[in-house]
């Protein structure tokens, strides 16, 4: 098989693999995976689809975070999402900043010392990068 033929086969296969990985669910090798699992999965689900173990008891159903790009475009708008996560922009479903899952820890970092705030901002940014990698097309438009 020639190099040209091999290249012609590899490019479509690579594109298929990339498309499949975007729809296969969690990406445990991604840099933000563990942070997402720690702070977000209990409500939004391990797959970020809004079906976490806490979802049935919440008064506002958690969003399917894989569809953020439908509303906000791709790449996801980091400053807007940082404000949602750290509490500067209120999200009805997130409740008060005293939320036991992560609210108090991430919110208070925005009012603490600069070193701690920088560390928390880094955590939030890797979560957003992870969510950016999980985006899928809205199944209602297919």
**In this predicted model, what pLDDT tens digit does every residue of 117-128 receive, in sequence order?**
777 888 999 999
pLDDT in the model for residue 136: 93
Burial 81-111 (b: 16+ CB within 10 A, else e): bbbebbbeeeeeebeebeeebbbeebbebbe
Higher pLDDT, 103 or 13: 103
Over the chain, what is the mean pLDDT? 74
Measured CA to CA, the distance from residue 47 to residue 83 in angstroms comes to 22
Q: Are 131 and 65 in contact (CB under 8 A)?
A: yes
In the numeric block, which tokens belong to residue 45? 């689900």
pTM: 0.69
């Amino acid at each position: 098989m020639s190099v040209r033929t091999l290249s012609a086969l590899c490019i479509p296969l690579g594109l298929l693999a990339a498309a499949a990985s975007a729809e296969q669910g969690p990406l445990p090798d991604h840099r933000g995976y563990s942070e997402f699992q720690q702070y977000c999965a209990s409500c939004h689900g391990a797959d970020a689809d809004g079906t976490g173990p806490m979802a049935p008891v919440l008064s506002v159903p958690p969003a399917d975070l894989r569809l953020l790009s439908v509303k906000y475009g791709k790449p996801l708008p980091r400053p807007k999402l940082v404000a949602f996560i750290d509490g500067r922009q209120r999200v009805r479903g997130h409740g008060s900043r005293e939320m036991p899952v992560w609210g108090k820890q991430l919110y208070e970092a925005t009012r603490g010392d600069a070193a701690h705030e920088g560390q928390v901002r880094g955590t939030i940014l890797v979560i957003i990068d992870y969510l950016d990698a999980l985006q899928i097309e809205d199944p209602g438009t297919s």
